[in-house]
Structures are given as structure tokens and as C-alpha cells.
Structure 1
């Protein structure tokens, strides 16, 4: 056998054909594939391989989660195929109150405070290789801002006091990864609140919920609007959007969905016998069209244990139509599992989905 044949990814196949074949293998088998040969091991951690998967397409949606513990300020994890969270490299400069955004295979951590000082800095997690990279800084420092991605651009809203010209002019900014820089987004003075407790993108608009009320921004026409009373009252905690419906967890222990076009909240039914009565610290993400919920659970009923558990459930959500009535929202739990044990006192910060 010649040296050229020995170096082929798959014997008797051209490398371009081999890459096309290997790119179709589910991620659950990638660990086994790395043991086949050194060339395949190297391929699976290359940008060429991820590009091939995206072109087929053969990407899978993976859950990423960040949480805060007493011993470390911020830890990041990814959900493995065995329904367990695996730790990732630490953030080089831990922050509090960062905004999160996802573009393709990258998670952007935007702003936040470092030693109680708001920051302009942006950190990027390249989820292909689990490496942290510094991103271009914003025009102004922010903490607890809102963020949303529309047409491949990140829009960030609030998180700063508009008490001078710079912070007023740049109260909202947009980041375009093509030219790799931030630019200001014009905003009317009357909507410039400081803190944003939640955000989401629904129907082509960025929704940002402030301490008092909330606003939506339409980047296609530059229009700002106050959110309706129903959405303002019902949106509590961290939310996500699945198939155009915004889901959040309320204080009564219910997962609710909001139809922005109809202005109605509806309870997600069918989960009473599947999930615990209350989900402490519930955080949600759209993972490949499924509603994934992550929450905190004390290990011991007497509360004296040193550890707590992080639980996760994947829910298939559907809209059932009824004659002469608006459709009801129904959910079916696909799987539910304890995915991580952490020191007591830890808390979930954020979760999102990345296609790889």
C-alpha cells in the first residue's frame, strides 16, 4: 500500500468522498470515530469537518448552560448524548449580568460587570472547539442588557444609564459579524430604561423587558413600541421561543405560552404528571424545535445536603385546534433526567442552543 493510500481517511475512497460520509455520522458516535485513526481524529476537530456538516446539512442542536457557584463565579457546560452536562473551559474574565446571543457556532457573552464595574467587553465561545476568544468591544459599558439576533446581527438594548451623550446615543447597539464592529441604533428617549430582566426575538422583533414595562424593536423599519399589558404582566423569568410561541415559567408553577399575534397567554397542558410541581430557577431554550427546561433541585428533603441537582426535560410542544376556539398548547415530555450535581447554593444563569 502506498503512502498516499495509508494517509486516506477511508481506504479506497477519495478524501472529499470520505469527508462527506463521515459528516453524516451522528454526533453520538463521534467519540468512537476518534479511535479509528489519527487522520479521522484530526478531521473531527477541524473547521473543514464542521463546514461539511453544515452544508449537507447534518448539524444537531446542542444545549449549552452556564451556572454560578459559590466557589467559582461562572461555569459553562454542554449537554452530552448521555443526558449529562460536561464542563467547558472557564471564561477568561468572569462577569455578572452579561447578555447572551448565538450566531451559528458561536455564543456571545456581552458586557456584564467585573468587580462591580460594567464592562464593554465581549467574549465569544467557539462551540466547535470549545475555545474562548475576545470579541470587539461595544461602544458603551453594560450590565443586565437585553440581546437578540435577527438576520445574523446582534441587537443589544439597555443595561446602561443614559445620563450622558455617549450612553444616550448608544443605548442600543447592533453588531454585524461581517464587518466585525458595533454601531449605534437610534432610540427615543422615553423608552430608555436601564435594567432588562428578559429578552427574546419573536416574529422578527427584539423584545426587551425592563423594570417597568418593556419595549420591542423592529430592525426592518427602525420602529420602537411599548409591549402590551398582557405580555408585560405575564412574562416572568427567563423565556424562549419555540415555533413562534414565547414560553416562560410563572410563579404558580405553570409553563405558559404567549401568542404575540393574538396577545394571549395559554397554559402548556399535559405536563401535570410528568414534571415536579415547582421548578426552581427554571430556564428554557429551543433545542431543535423542542422546548428544553432546566431547573434546580435540592438533593435532600431536609435541606441539609451539601449538593443540589440540576434537572433537565425535553418537551415536544404542539398546538391543538378546537372547533370555534383558539388552539390549546400541549406538551409531551420526551425525556427527563438529573444532568448534574453541583454545590448547594449554585444557580442557573442561562441556557441556549447551538447547531453543530
Structure 2
């Protein structure tokens, strides 16, 4: 945990552990330091030699979890030309800055982190499990891959886990009770692929198992969006899609009104699905009432006709979208972000309060937002 120091009076190779905070035991010091916000960690590492490796310490994050000091951190995958795959960034709030609705101080920004070791993956599915993001399948030079990469959002490191039973691209994925369900993304042209059209990854045992889908009339290859609501995985295809309830091992069809063409540009907050419609307005779908409602109070945001995506960041709606800056040969793309607090009225209306909005990154003009997700760190 702690860095080491050496004295000229000590024999070569002898190292004396340095206390994190000299007046406190390391256990007490760690308990205090774990409560420091993640955005302050770069500064924390500059305090002393003992603190240099602290932001990369698994023990620090274990302590953060124990003392209830974890935060919901936003991660964004962006395709930057000429790369075909995605580069990864995390949202960092600059300390000692006031974020406002009309902020022009760039108090929040996307900073690059280590990208997936397989950078050419296109059409991957994504799933968040606590502090980890799973990048599932995707194609490499138009060949579907069965690989699964995991981003540890605490240490910003990548690792491989067991491959899926079949290669997939543009599959649907959802996490329920410690298991990742992956649906579609493969051609059902033989018996082997048919029984593996859906499969499940048990995070505890780190193994894949097929999910039986008898009697399914819809076995689409490409799923353009997925979500988890009320313990069910919704996988949306061009022709409606499917719903799977693991508890009952039951397959069903989603009602047609659910699909507003939300091709991955959606998230779920308290069992309400949020996306933007063909008019660029943010709407929320309540599966109990089976109705779409417009998110009110966010009229100052642009119309999201394309190039935007959403994530649930600790119960708040984070929206990222693409804007343009400059002209001619100097034309660039701006990535904007807004965070919205959601409230439900007694009449069932959904209201949003924009807590802040900011330009968080400027990238080459041909770039594109691939996805954004929030992990607990």
C-alpha cells in the first residue's frame, strides 16, 4: 500500500515503509483517504511518495466500498478517425469549480484512459457490473468475435474472460442477479447457433451457458438496443424484438409501442426507460402504465435527432451529444454532456431539472459517440 523510503545509513536494498499520515495508523488514515472524491485522486497522488500509488490501490477501493464512499463515474467510448474501434474516456469534474446550467468554464471534461486491447471491435454489446464494464463480442474486419473484455474502472486496466460459445456482433445484453444475458448478434443457420442464440455468463463461476429459447419465432441476428426493466431483459430488433424473464425462464414479445427506434440511445432509471424520439425529445416509458411521457423542464437542451446517448449516473440522467465547432478545414466536433435530476409528479408526469451542462471534449470532425455507461467506483 504505502510507498517506501530509504536512508543513506541503511544497508543497500533495505526499505522502511512510510506511513500514509505520520500521526495516524495506516488503517485510520486509509479510512479517511477513502472518503476523498475520485476527481481529487490525481492531486492526492502528488501529496507525498506514500500517496503516489494510493489511487491505484485495490485496498483503497475496497475501503471506499466498506465506508459507503463509492461514486458513480461516467465512462464513454468514442470512435476517433482513422480508428475503427473505440477509444475510452472517463468524465472528470475539475475540483473547486462551480458547474452551472450555462457553464462556459469547462469544469467537467472527458480524459482518456487505457483503451481495449482489441481496438478494432465494432458492434460490441456492453454491460456494467458494479465497478466493471464488460465489452461483449463485436466484429473484427466484419467477422463476429466471441471475445469478452472487462474494464476495471477502479484501476483502468483490461482483462479477458471466457469467450462466448459463438461469435456475435450487435447483440443485446442485460445484467440480472449477477448474471449477464446476451441475446442475438449471430446468424441462426444451424443447430449449434440455434441453441446458443441466447446465452448467459455467470459472473461468480466465470462460465457461459446456453439459454433455451424454445418456440421463439423471432431470432433476429442484429439487436439494436437492450435494457433491463422489472427483472426482464428487453432486446429490441428491427422487427419489434423479444423479452426474457430469467426468474421464470419465460420468453415474450414486447408491445409495439415500446419501440421508438431507440437504437442503444437509452437508459433505465427506477424502472423507467428513457430515450429520445424521432422529434428529438426525451421521453420515458413506464412498463406498468405502458405509456410514453415526455420529460418536461429540459426544453433548453437541443433536439437529439442523432449522435446522442444516455446513462444512469447514480439515479440521474446523463446525456451526451455531438455538436459542431469551427468551419471549413478547421471544423471539429464537440462532445457535450448534461446531467438531469429526475422527479415524478403525482399526476404521473416526469420532470427533469438540468443540474449542469458543459462541453467535455473536442475531437476530430468524423468522430462518433459509441456508448456511455456509469460504473460504481
**Cα deviations by residue, 1:9-56 (Å, 9 ceiling, x for unpaired):** 111322111111111112232222212222222222111111110111
Residue 23 of structure 1: aligned partner: 34
Q: Which residue of 1 aligns with 2:44?
A: 33
**Structure 1 residue 61: deviation in Å?**
0.5
1:232 corresponds to? 259
Which residue number in structure 1 is paired with residue 237 of structure 2? 210
Question: Which residue number corresponds to residue 43 of structure 1?
Answer: 54
CA contact (8 A) 2:276 2:304 kept: no
In structure 1, how many angstroms separate the alpha carbons of the residues matched to 2:305 and 2:65? 35
Provide the C-alpha distance between the structure 2 equivalents of 1:104 and 1:283, rounded to a whole number of angstroms. 20
Question: Structure 1 segments of 4 or more deviating over 6 A?
Answer: 3-6
Q: 2:71 aligned to 27, 39, 60, which one?
A: 60
Matched-pair contact (CA < 8 Å) for 1:95–1:114: yes
| Separation in structure 2 between the aligned mates of residue 312 and residue 115 of structure 1, nearest angstrom | 31
| 1:237/1:249 contact within 8 Å kept | no
Asked if 2 retains the 8 angstrom alpha-carbon contact of 1:279 and 1:296, the reply is: no
**Distance in 2 of aligned mates of 1:197 and 1:142:** 13
- 1:249 maps to 276
Residue 237 of structure 1 and its aligned partner are, at CA, apart by 4.8
Give the C-alpha shift of residue 305 in structure 1: 4.0
CA positional deviation for 1:198:
0.3
Determine which of 249, 261, 266 is the counterpart of 2:293: 266
Deviation (angstroms), 1:112: 0.5
Residue of structure 1 equivalent to 2:331: 306
Q: Which residue of 2 aligns with 1:293?
A: 319
For residue 111 of structure 1, what is the aligned residue in structure 2?
137
For 1:237 and 1:138, how far apart are their aligned partners in 2?
Answer: 21
1:167 to 173, 176, 193: 193
Structure-2 change in CA distance of 1:151 and 1:339 (3 Å): same
- Cα distance between partner residues in 1 of 2:264 and 2:153: 26
CA contact (8 A) 1:279 1:295 kept: no
The answer to whether the 8 Å contact 1:76/1:89 transfers is yes
Deviation at residue 244 of structure 1 after TM alignment: 1.4
Q: 1:38 to 1:244 in 2, by over 3 A?
A: same
* Residues 120 and 6 of structure 1, relative CA distance in 2, 3 Å threshold: closer
Helix, strand or coil: the match of 1:80? Answer: strand
Structure 1 residue 318 and structure 2 residue 329: aligned? Answer: no
1:199, 1:303 → 2: CA distance? 38
User: TM-score, normalised to structure 1's length?
Assistant: 0.94
Structure 1: gaps of 5 or more residues: none
Deviation at 1:90, TM superposition (A): 2.5
Distance in 2, Cα, partners of 1:191 & 1:276: 36
Q: Which residue of 1 aligns with 2:97?
A: none
SS state of the match for residue 280, structure 1? coil
The two structures, once aligned, show a CA RMSD in angstroms of 1.7
